[in-house]
Each structure stands twice: as C-alpha cells, then as structure tokens.
Amino acid sequence: MADNLFGQHISKQFDTELEDIRTRVLAMGGLVEQQVADAVSALVGGNRELAETVIERDHEVNALEVAIDEECTQVVARRQPAAGDLRLIMAVIKTITDLERIGDQAEKVARMGLHLAERERPKSQYIEIQHLGARVQQMLHHTLDAFARLDAEAAITVTSEDEKVDAEYDGVMRQMVTFMMEDPRLIKRSLDVMWSARALERIGDHSKNICEYVIYLVKGKDVRHISLEQMKKVARTES
Amino acid sequence: MADNLFGQHISKQFDTELEDIRTRVLAMGGLVEQQVADAVSALVGGNRELAETVIERDHEVNALEVAIDEECTQVVARRQPAAGDLRLIMAVIKTITDLERIGDQAEKVARMGLHLAERERPKSQYIEIQHLGARVQQMLHHTLDAFARLDAEAAITVTSEDEKVDAEYDGVMRQMVTFMMEDPRLIKRSLDVMWSARALERIGDHSKNICEYVIYLVKGKDVRHISLEQMKKVARTES
C-alpha cells in the first residue's frame, strides 16, 4: 500500500522531504510513548523525580508539534502535492495534534503522581492504574506501528482495542466510587486516581483518532464517526 | 487585516470557495454554540428532552467536520494556494477539529444532565454549573467572533478569559469535594457535577486553541505553547 504513497516523485528532494516528515512524526510518537510510560511508572512507584522529569519534558513534545506543523505547511506551499502526498500531509497535521494532546495527558498523570506521592499509599499500590496504563501504552504502541507501516488493517484492529480501555476505565471508576463511599477519608486520594484514569482513557481516544487518520491516509476515505463494522468494510475495499 | 487574506485572487471562483469554507466554519461554530447552551440549560433545568436533543444532534456537528475537512483538502489540491490562503485552510482544518471536540464535550454535559435529572435536585439548582457554563459560552462566542473578523487582538483578549474559566472551575471542584466529605450520600451526584464542570473547562481550552489558530492565521506566527506576554508581543508586530 505504501508504494502508492511514496517513492514515485519526479523530484527526489520531495521524496526526502516527505520521508523526513514521517520520520519526525515517528520520533515525536516515540517521545510521547516514553512520556506516557514514565508518567504511569512515576505514579505507580511514587517516584517524584520521574514525575517532574515528565512535566519538564512536555515542552519538547510541544516544540516537535510546532516544528512538524511548520514543515508540513512549507512542503504544501513549495511542492503543491496532490492526491496521496497531500493526504499524507493532512493526516500528519492531524496526527501531531493528537500526539501533542497525548503528551498533555501524560503530563496530567505525572501531576497526579506528584499529588499521590504526598499521600499515604494504598495496599493495592495503584495496581488499577498500572493495568489501565499498560493497556493504553500497548494501544498507543500499536497505533504508532500502524502509522509507521501505513497499515489500515492494523489501524482498524487497534481501534477496537479502545473498547477494552474503556471497560477497564469504567472498572476503575466504579471501584473508586465504592472506596469513597466506604471511607470519606479516601475521597481526595480516590479523586486523584480518577483523574489519572481519565487522562489514560483520553490517551486511548487520541490513539483511536490517529488510527482513523491512518485509514484515511491509506484508503482515502474518512472513517471518523462511523461504526467499527463500517470501518472494516472500508478497509476491505481496494484503495 | 482581512484584506491581505481575501479578495485578491485571479480566479473569482477561488474567492468564492474560500469564502464558502469560512461561512461553513461559522455555521459549524453556531451549531456548536447552540449545543453548549442547550446542554447547560438541560442540566441546570433538569430538562431530559433537551438533553436528548443535544445528544442526537452531535452527529450533525461531526458531519460538518468531515464535510469541511474534505472541502479544504480539495481546495488545496485544486488551487494550490500559497501564503495567506494556505494559512487560512490550515487554520480551518485545526479549528474544526476543536469545534468537533467542543461538540463532544457538550454531549457529555447533556449526558450528565440525564443522570442528574434522575437524582434529587440540590437547593442550589446547580447554580455553579450555570455560572461556569455562562462564562464558557461567552468565551466560545468571543472566539467565534475573533475568527469571523480575523481579529488577532480580540483573539488574544479571549485567550486570557481562559484563566477566569479555570478559576471558576477550580472553585466548583473544591466545593464538590467539600460536599462529598460532608455527606457521602452526595458522592455520586457531586461526581456528575464534577464531570460536567470538567467538560465545560475543556471547552474553554478548545476555544483557546481556536484563538491561537486565528493569531497564526492573521500574523503568520505560531503562538501555541507560549506565554500570554509573548503572545501580546506577536500581536503588536505588523503582519
């Protein structure tokens, strides 16, 4: 599928530019993945220092978004790309917005980690956040894989992982409400856990958005706001 | 300022196309504004029917996003716009993503409205949500005004409104925590109010994003992730 999109331009320079954009998006993705992993591990381990590192590094994510955005606009202006190339650039512009917002959510988790490090630790050691975090990290990783390989089928499979993230999230929320009702002294701590779970759930949503851009990019069809069934139909059609 | 951006193309058809895109973004903005107003009023008034209308109409918002996105891509492919026109289209593509997400938040508030309509109503009649909602609606309205008039100065002023939204949001959150700690029977209701407040606060963030695109569009400078002071400096420079 990737062959339609790359490698057949008159200008070799243009190929290099597109490849460079893609590489930078993947680098941004790698950084964001690291931020999410570090944020979860800082919260779960009560590691204040690591939480602070995540918060500080968020500006690197932001800077990458601005730089890639600028590069995309310049390439459009200079190369006047058509069809597949333009789709690539449009998908990149949207993808980096979601990556930047995943970075924001990682920062939020890290901030909650700082709060929670101040409080007495529960017996569970925040195992529920560890589980949800692991699932979300996996989903994000698969998303970036699908983007790297421009694999629409994989993107659809990842999209369906979001339901599992949501189910796990709902479980955490119910558990926290129970804790709060049983012991009002746990209200503040439980709220911090809820906000962290919420941030992780949002990362699942952003990953799903990116998968939809990958499908759009490969298939040329906008699959936002349609059902998983309809999406599978699109992926099965030839692009 | 608008004169640099519009009205001087060789092709009259191109002017019409750009104007059409702008008009459709404003129509989408109007719909989203209505959704936010209805969602808040449904929650505050315990109006189940209105809440359901908001939830149903969300697909109209989504459909507008997809349609405008498609139109933008086609215009770029066909007209190969440069400089100001390209900036307009890039800003539109980003703006409609945020408008769509404001629509999602309005839907969330409406869903919380449905939950709360099932519960006993507090003496306050959700006055705190009414206040926060009014402030957020005002911010969104000013944002769309700044976009309509391509007014970077106005966009910066609106950006600073976000701090007031955040302060009001923090107040609601503190109040809800107090309620929950005083009377654990109020935990579930207070959580619903918290989620609604959170959704409204997010609308403020999305409005701020749109303001930043307006500044980028008019000034040609990316002002995301910089301080308000730096932003004012950018606005003072000639574009």
Report which DSSP code applies to A111.
H
**Cβ atoms B65, B102 nearer than 8 A:** no
What average pLDDT is seen over chain B? 91
| Residue predicted with more confidence, A82 or A157 | A157
**Cβ atoms A207, A140 nearer than 8 A:** yes
Tell me: pLDDT of A224 over 90. no
Q: Does A104 touch chain B (CB under 8 A)?
A: no
Q: Does B85 touch chain A (CB under 8 A)?
A: no
pLDDT, position B102: 98
Tell me: pLDDT of A215 over 60. yes
Minimal Cα–Cα distance from A77 to chain B, Å?
5
ipTM: 0.87
Yes or no, beta carbons of A77 and B70 under 8 Å apart: no
Task: Dump pLDDT digits (tens) for A18-58.
Answer: 999 999 999 999 999 999 999 999 999 999 999 999 999 99
* Least confidently predicted of B16-25, B30-39, B140-149, B229-238: B229-238
Task: Dump pLDDT digits (tens) for B146-169.
Answer: 999 999 999 999 999 999 999 999
* Least confidently predicted of A140-149, A221-230, B37-46, B70-79: A221-230
pLDDT, position A115: 95
- Radius of gyration of chain A from Cα atoms? 20
**Cβ atoms B90, A73 nearer than 8 A:** yes
Distance CA A219, CA A229 (A): 16
pLDDT, position B61: 97
Cα B143 from chain centroid (whole Å): 7
Select from A24, A18, A10 the least CA-distant residue to A85.
Answer: A18
* Least confidently predicted of A73-77, A116-120, A221-225: A221-225
pLDDT, position B53: 98
Residue found under tokens 């190929």: A15
Select from B222, B205, B150 the least CA-distant residue to A72.
Answer: B222
Q: How many CA atoms lie within 13 A of A118 on its CB side?
A: 8
pLDDT, position B223: 77
A62 contacts on B by Cβ (under 8 Å): 224-225
Q: Which two tokens stand for residue A155?
A: 């993107």
Task: Dump pLDDT digits (tens) for A136-145.
Answer: 999 999 999 9
Tell me: pLDDT of B235 over 80. no
Yes or no, beta carbons of A73 and B87 under 8 Å apart: yes
pLDDT, position A203: 98
As to burial, measured by CB atoms within 10 angstroms (0-12 exposed, 13-18 middle, 19+ buried), residue A205 is middle
**Cβ atoms A54, A38 nearer than 8 A:** yes
Tell me: pLDDT of B8 over 60. no
Return the number of other C-beta atoms located less than 10 Å from residue A118's C-beta: 10
Task: Dump pLDDT digits (tens) for B214-226.
Answer: 998 888 777 777 7
pLDDT, position B150: 92
Question: Please, which residues 158-177 of chain A have a Cβ atom closer than 8 Å to chain B?
Answer: 177
B184 contacts on A by Cβ (under 8 Å): 180-181, 184
Tell me: pLDDT of B54 over 50. yes
Yes or no, beta carbons of B66 and A181 under 8 Å apart: no
Q: Does A230 touch chain B (CB under 8 A)?
A: no
Q: Does A115 touch chain B (CB under 8 A)?
A: no
Distance CA B28, CA B20 (A): 12
A61-100 in b/e burial notation, b at 16+ Cβ within 10 A? bbebbbebbebbbebbeebbbeebbbbbbbbbbbbbbbbb
Q: Which two tokens stand for residue A45?
A: 């381990």
Select from A144, A158, A162, A176 the least CA-distant residue to A32.
Answer: A144
- The one-letter code for the residue type at A115 is H
Task: Dump pLDDT digits (tens) for B195-206.
Answer: 999 999 999 999
Q: Is B6 left (phi over 0), alpha (psi -120 to 50) or beta?
A: beta
pLDDT, position B2: 42
pLDDT, position B3: 43
B231 contacts on A by Cβ (under 8 Å): none
- The one-letter code for the residue type at A170 is D
Tell me: pLDDT of B175 over 80. yes
Q: Which long-range contacts (CB under 8 A, 24 or more apart) does B136-142 make?
A: B136/B36, B136/B165, B136/B200, B136/B201, B136/B203, B136/B204, B136/B207, B137/B33, B137/B36, B137/B37, B137/B40, B139/B165, B139/B203, B139/B204, B139/B207, B140/B32, B140/B33, B140/B36, B140/B102, B140/B203, B140/B207, B141/B33, B142/B207
pLDDT-based confidence at A5, cuts 50/70/90? low
Minimal Cα–Cα distance from A182 to chain B, Å?
8
Report which DSSP code applies to B160.
H
Q: What is the mean pLDDT of residues A205-233?
A: 86
Tell me: pLDDT of A230 over 90. no
Distance CA B186, CA A7 (A): 62
Task: Dump pLDDT digits (tens) for A113-162.
Answer: 999 999 999 988 899 999 999 999 999 999 999 999 999 999 999 999 99
Tell me: pLDDT of A8 over 90. no
pLDDT, position A223: 76
Q: How many CA atoms lie within 13 A of B123 on its CB side?
A: 1
Minimal Cα–Cα distance from B222 to chain A, Å?
7
Select from B64, B69, B75, B197 the least CA-distant residue to B126.
Answer: B197
Q: Does B62 touch chain A (CB under 8 A)?
A: yes
B224 contacts on A by Cβ (under 8 Å): 62, 65-66
CA distances from B186 to A219, B116, B131, B194 (A): 50, 12, 21, 12
Q: Does B227 touch chain A (CB under 8 A)?
A: no
Minimal Cα–Cα distance from B97 to chain A, Å?
9
Return the number of other C-beta atoms located less than 10 Å from residue B114's C-beta: 18
Which residue is closest to A188 within chain B, CA to CA? B177
Q: Which two tokens stand for residue A99?
A: 């990556």
Yes or no, beta carbons of A93 and B94 under 8 Å apart: yes
Q: What is the mean pLDDT of residues B121-132?
A: 93
Distance CA B159, CA B139 (A): 8
Minimal Cα–Cα distance from B192 to chain A, Å?
12
Establish, for the pair of chains A and B, how many residue pairs have beta carbons separated by less than 8 Å. Answer: 64
pLDDT, position B4: 45
pLDDT-based confidence at A1, cuts 50/70/90? very low
Distance CA A57, CA A34 (A): 10
Tell me: pLDDT of A3 over 70. no
Tell me: pLDDT of A16 over 60. yes
Select from B136, B163, B146 the least CA-distant residue to B210.
Answer: B146
Q: Model's pTM, two decimal places?
A: 0.90
pLDDT, position A14: 87
pLDDT, position B226: 78
